[in-house]
Amino acid sequence: MDFWKALGITETSDEAVIRNAYREKLLVTNPEDDPEGFKNLREAFEEALRFLKESKEKSSEEAEEEELTPVKILINKAEELYKDIYKRNDPEAWKEWLSDPLIVGLDTVDEVRNAFLVFTMSCFTYSNEMWRLFDEAFNILNEADELKNSFPEDFISYICNNIKNGSFFPYRKLALVKDRSDYLFMREIELPPMIEEDREKLKNEDDIYIREAVRAFSHYGLYDSIYELQEENDNYLKKCVGILSAMREHEIWHPFEALLLMMCLYSSGRTEEALRIARILADEERSEEIDIFTEGFALHVLFGEEIKNPGTVPEYKKYKSVLDSMIENNNSFGFARLALAEYLFLEGDFEEAEDEALKASELNDSSRFINDFREIADKRMIEYFLDRLEKDSNDQHAAIELGWCRLREKNSEEVYRLLDSIAPPDEKNEYNFYNLYSRTLIGDERYEDAVPYVRHWHEMLVKLYEEKKDENGNLPENLTKEERKRLKRLGYSYYFMGICEENTGNEEAALENYRIAEKYADNERERQGYRSSVAQFLHRKKRYSEAFSVWESMIADDDKMLPAYVGRQLEAYYLRRVQQVIDDYYYITSVVPGFADAYLYAAKVFRIYRYFEDFDRVIEKAKENNVNSQRLEAEVAAKLAAEGKNEEAIRIFEKLEELLDSSNAETDGTDKDIDKNNKTDFYNEEDIAEFYCSYGRSIYLDINSDAATRQNKIKKIRECIDKGLAADERNVDLYWLLVDLTGHNGEQSLRVKEKIKIYKNMLELFPENAAVHYEYAVVLKKEGKKQEMLAQLEEAVRISDLFPKAREELSDYYRDRYFETEDKKDLEAAVLHAKKAVLGDEDPYYIIGLAILYNDAYDFENAIKTADRCIELDPDYAYGYNAKAYAYMMTGRLKEAEELFMEGLRHFEEESYTALQTNYIKCLEIQGRYDEAIKFFINIRERFKLTSAKYNEQIAKLWLKAGDSKKSLEEYKKSFDLYRKEWRMGADNLDSQRIPPFMINKLLSRLKEPKTDIMHNIVDLQLTVMDLYVVSGDLESFKNLSKDIRKFVSDSRKYESGFRKTIHDAYKEALTGRTPDPDDAVRILYDVRDCLSMIARHMLYVSRDYKLAANCLERVVRIHDRQRETEGEYSDEEWVGCEHLRLAECYYRLKRYEDARREALKFREHICRKSKDEESYLAYSPDKQMRLTRFAEMYYFLGDSEKSKELLERVPGEYRNYDCKDKRFYDDLILKGKIYEFEGRIDEALKVYNMIIKEVTDEDAEVVNAVSVLTGGRELYDI
């Protein structure tokens, strides 16, 4: 036979063309009208596929004629095992392969594993048993993180899920079609109407069959659901038929195929054909070939049809043995219980049938088949009990049982009437009376009314249990059937107690009852149900971490429990445990491809963390599996908003809001749950609240795009918040949106007050939400409320120990406090918090925070190790290189530091000036490569548009170091002009423009009122330029600026004694608010103090005018002392102490040795107030070189030259001072030179000063002028 001609196509290598041709011919070839033609068509189709397969194998063999390595040969063997449907999931068949020396050998196993994983990317349908064997051989689970570096992350996650959880699919029941000839007739049965879907394209045909079977089973589960609309139910049935049609084309067979055919025929009204298949599947002799799912459905079809049409299955009793075996092997399978209920009903045991139907319903409360049977059973039961009541109206048992039927009809008023008619019940019916009353009241949400009934029923069960249990708490075997039946409900009574307690405000009592219920569960499924209730309760109370732990423990007990994965994924989403959400997504969708929530939460986390490509893959997969979810549509809209596509997003939200509003309008308004005719899948208040939150957030992202519509947008966002909170007042994300919206209304101070008010409300609603405490802390920090901020941060980490953001803030707090207190305990606390931030999230951002902290603490070894970890995790993270390079720079490894800085700059993508550029410039500066530093600095100044005066000054200093005083002066002039402009003395004050640059006193003379905001900046600039003139030898220019600065010293006295009477009175009046401008008086005094301090340093170190320096410093310390008198403490003890030390040097130069000694002692006094003692002060690493130098100077003035010498000798051995940008720290050398001067050893002093000029820097004005004076030059103050 020419099979190409029979199919109506020419020879092709495209399998899709062959399958499409077969389908088209199948539509016009009826097996009943033309059995021979149908047979020939089938044979032609199989021949074409066989031809295609052989052609591919031949091509593959030719392609693999190249030399085969041992690993390739081993993988080829695996492929052969995989192709054999019987061997694929048979551990014995793989035994030899898994024991191959290449797998057992430590030196070759990784190579085999990588090759095997490549193979499994296209050949991946194994049973859980096989995946676990592969894990034992290749250690996949333990090394999953490492493998994700070489393989797609979702692929490794898929494998890990299968190792841990497996699939529900019964792989062992797969067989070749030729080995199941008894079932082949099923493939010739004409199928009902179908909807064909796109088929998955996989390398292996058998894998396609398996995936189709799982997908069809999922569709049928949705068809069976009472929560789906009728139209959707019909579509799911048609999709099942479409998949079934595709499955028929394969050469393997699974009982699922028969099950699906049977159920599709039965649901389509083709009862006789369905019964024929059911009889075969329920045959006891075929039990080894058929899985439990298929047997259960088959029995349901047989028994159910006999109930509906008596005599249709007269032999139903013969299936009792299959039923008994199924119940014995798996009594928690809902359809097994349904079949038993149906059998008992057929036997006339209606009350027992009702009990079994109840159990089936508890196992699967969404099944329409179970519900349909209960409706049939109830009709018969109602007739039965009405007849009994007609005969005896006092028949309490009949009244109660009739009440149960009415309850299932949702006719609670009739239940109350029946129960009230027999109240109080007699002893025999007391238990059932209170049981039914309890359930009816709870069903009506009348929890207050239910409490006495539930408690009475519960106490009856507890009493019975206490009477019957033995000393070990076990129940005896000789219980009556009624006692055993009642005691099976003990756990349920605790559960009902929990419901009552929860809904009457006793939350902890509710949780305790839910937990106790588990102890008294009748079976494992019921026990897991009670554990689920605990987790769900914790979720409702926003105790997500505890709920997560419950779901985790359930999975640990039963790694096939799908609801636990669903619950865990939900909690993981709220806990932002991204990887867990994704792992559970893969598992859930592998079992139930049509389950919308799994896609929803995966999409949410990908959207939140802006993994948009992954988000799109989730949505695409949902579409492939025909998931129809309005919540997913809302996520698509939220993602569009996050991408800036706000108009598209808002259109989707508006459409969904209309749909939601119309659905809500169809409910009666009394039931918060969405009606089953709802047009959306916003099933509960939580979903609705999240929808409005996303909607409002999308509008918020577009709030500033159009000023004309801004207020309307604010109004709509507020409407979304109100609607969301009306649905769920405990949706924390709505409050976050409200906080953000507050930033767009009113003045800044009012906005802050409103935010604080919202946060306080949130703390009442969400006391255990760490994020609320953290965000409130951030607001308090901005308001300067450090102690309140600290309290909130500590509460945040109490709730969530490894909350990285809160830990980072705490680390910053203690680091800043360490810089203030220099207490090592603060440093240790800062490091501890930074480490915990990394434990909470091993993100490069937090790791580099720890590395920077180590650098701040001068723990460079740990800084380098930590930075290495950061670079290992993210080789493109520029700040990792910066932190490591900084540590190298500070330890003298300059070349290595420079290379790392440059590597960091290559990875730098931000458009801003950061510590990376600053540190690189410093590294070049330390090496004396000033021209390169200048070129780089000018380049980034232009690139980042750096306009502040401080950048001109930094470049000016580099030009001076490079020996170009002219260019240095040009930059300083630019800086001066910027300050003058900033001081409002530019275009609006032409007279000021005629003032020569840098003259502070002349500028001040042009002002009607003193302006202090940048006075000290200009004084500092003027003194710096004076130093430049000294170094460059321009003494005439120096003289002009010197006269101006000296005039400033003289004229500034008016700000002390003339302005507001006296220093003390002016400050006191300012502090008490009796002056018109209280802050001005304080600011002026402080600014004058700072300026005098800078001038004193210049006069002492450069101009060597010791009298004027002493005069300035005496005024400075006097202002400090006045401040202490008023405030009770000095603003900075070290700062004040250093002023006294400089004053001591002035006095020593003036030969006032006792005064110098007194000031040196005051220096030590202030330092010991800052630090507890000298040792603590000198232990501070970042400033140790300078501090050793200061104390060396102090000891010299105190007369202990040996101690001074000892301290100076320690300086070079310490790490570089944090602010040192020279080739080395040289303040110690300057002090040595000064000491030689003090002692009259001028030659030795000159030797030291000249060494500094030659080896360190030739632009230090103090050193240059000292050499000039000591070699006969004039003192600068004499010029």
**Predicted confidence (pLDDT) per residue in 385-432, tens digit:** 999 999 998 999 999 999 999 998 889 999 999 999 998 999 999 999
| 1106 and 1247 share one domain | no
| 1168 and 1121 share one domain | yes
Three-state secondary structure readout of 114-133:
HHHHHHHCCCCCCCHHHHHH
pLDDT at 928 over 60: yes
Residue 673: per-residue pLDDT: 43
Distance CA 607, CA 602 (A): 9
Query: How does residue 232 score in pLDDT terms, banded at 50, 70 and 90?
Result: low
Write phi, then psi, for 405 (nearest 5 degrees).
-65, -40
Residue 62: per-residue pLDDT: 54
| 1178 and 1231 share one domain | no
| 1124 and 1260 share one domain | no
| 1007 and 1019 share one domain | yes
pLDDT at 1261 over 90: yes
Tell me what the mean pLDDT of segment 515-541 comes to.
90
Residue 664: per-residue pLDDT: 66
| 100 and 15 share one domain | no
Query: How does residue 1136 score in pLDDT terms, banded at 50, 70 and 90?
Result: very high
Tell me what the mean pLDDT of segment 1241-1261 comes to.
94
Residue 1060: per-residue pLDDT: 41
CATH at residue 752: 1.25.40.10
Query: How does residue 57 score in pLDDT terms, banded at 50, 70 and 90?
Result: low
CATH at residue 1007: 1.25.40
Q: Write down which residue in 14, 38, 58 finishes a domain.
A: 58
Q: Write down which residue in 1174, 1197, 1222 finishes a domain.
A: 1222
* Number of domains the chain is built from: 5
Query: How does residue 1054 score in pLDDT terms, banded at 50, 70 and 90?
Result: low
Q: Which spans in 423-561 are helix H?
A: 427-443, 447-468, 481-487, 490-503, 507-519, 524-540, 544-557
pLDDT, tens digit, for every residue of 980-1039? 777 654 434 444 455 667 777 766 665 545 555 577 888 999 999 999 999 999 999 999
Query: How does residue 336 score in pLDDT terms, banded at 50, 70 and 90?
Result: confident
| 1086 and 1195 share one domain | yes
Residue 556: per-residue pLDDT: 86
| 1202 and 1054 share one domain | yes
Q: What range defines the domain where residue 1269 resides?
A: 1223-1278
Tell me whether residue 960 is in a domain.
no
Tell me whether residue 1089 is in a domain.
yes
Query: How does residue 14 score in pLDDT terms, banded at 50, 70 and 90?
Result: confident
pLDDT, tens digit, for every residue of 743-794? 776 556 667 888 899 999 999 999 988 999 999 999 999 999 999 999 999 9
Cα separation values, 512 from 495, 499, 1009, Å: 10, 11, 73
pLDDT, tens digit, for every residue of 302-331? 999 999 899 999 999 999 999 998 888 877
Tell me whether residue 136 is in a domain.
yes
Query: How does residue 647 score in pLDDT terms, banded at 50, 70 and 90?
Result: confident
Residue 1063: per-residue pLDDT: 41
Residue 636: per-residue pLDDT: 95
Contacts 24+ apart (CB under 8 A), 972-979: 972/997, 972/998, 972/1021, 972/1024, 972/1025, 972/1028, 973/997, 974/949, 975/949, 975/950, 975/1021, 976/949, 976/1018, 976/1021, 978/947, 978/948, 978/949, 978/952, 979/949, 979/1014, 979/1017, 979/1018, 979/1021
pLDDT, tens digit, for every residue of 1069-1085? 444 444 445 456 677 77
| 86 and 153 share one domain | yes
Tell me what the mean pLDDT of segment 1116-1143 comes to.
89
Residue % of the chain over a pLDDT of 90: 51
Three-state secondary structure readout of 555-571:
HHHCCCCHHHHHHHHHH
CATH at residue 21: 1.10.287
SS3 content of the chain, % helix, strand, coil (to 5): 75, 0, 25
Tell me whether residue 698 is in a domain.
no
pLDDT at 1062 over 50: no
Q: From the centroid of its chain, how far is CA 1099?
A: 58
In this structure, are residues 741 and 751 in contact, taking their beta carbons and an 8 Å threshold? no
pLDDT at 267 over 60: yes
Q: Write down which residue in 800, 835, 868 finishes a domain.
A: 800
| 1044 and 1178 share one domain | yes
Residue 457: per-residue pLDDT: 95
In this structure, are residues 1112 and 1095 in contact, taking their beta carbons and an 8 Å threshold? yes
Residue 1078: per-residue pLDDT: 47
Query: How does residue 805 score in pLDDT terms, banded at 50, 70 and 90?
Result: very high
Query: How does residue 200 score in pLDDT terms, banded at 50, 70 and 90?
Result: low
Residue 554: per-residue pLDDT: 92
pLDDT at 239 over 90: no
| 1172 and 1263 share one domain | no
Range of weakest confidence among 184-193, 203-212, 583-592: 203-212
Residue 668: per-residue pLDDT: 46
Tell me whether residue 1244 is in a domain.
yes
Tell me whether residue 142 is in a domain.
yes
Average pLDDT of every residue of the chain: 87
Residue 28: per-residue pLDDT: 67
Distance CA 566, CA 555 (A): 11
Range of weakest confidence among 633-637, 719-723, 1012-1016: 1012-1016
Residue 1193: per-residue pLDDT: 96
Tell me whether residue 1252 is in a domain.
yes
Residue 746: per-residue pLDDT: 56
Buried b (16+ CB within 10 A) or exposed e, 932-968: bbbebbeebbeeeebeebebbbbbbbbbbbbebbebb
DSSP code string of 1042-1061: HHHHHHHHHHTHIIIIITTS
Residue 67: per-residue pLDDT: 60
Segment holding 176, helix H or strand E: strand 175-176
pLDDT at 65 over 60: no
pLDDT at 1163 over 80: yes
| 998 and 1070 share one domain | yes
Distance CA 694, CA 720 (A): 9
pLDDT at 936 over 70: yes
Reduced to 3 states (helix: H, G, I; strand: E, B; else coil), residue 720 is helix
Higher pLDDT, 1086 or 896: 896
pLDDT at 37 over 80: no
Strongest mean pLDDT among 223-237, 661-675, 1255-1269: 1255-1269
Residue 341: per-residue pLDDT: 93
pLDDT, tens digit, for every residue of 1187-1205? 999 999 999 999 999 999 9
Distance CA 891, CA 1225 (A): 13
CB neighbours of 819 closer than 8 A, spacing ≥ 6? none
Residue 149: per-residue pLDDT: 85
Query: How does residue 379 score in pLDDT terms, banded at 50, 70 and 90?
Result: confident
Residue 205: per-residue pLDDT: 84
Tell me what the mean pLDDT of segment 351-355 comes to.
84
Residue % of the chain over a pLDDT of 70: 91
Residue 534: per-residue pLDDT: 95
Tell me whether residue 699 is in a domain.
no
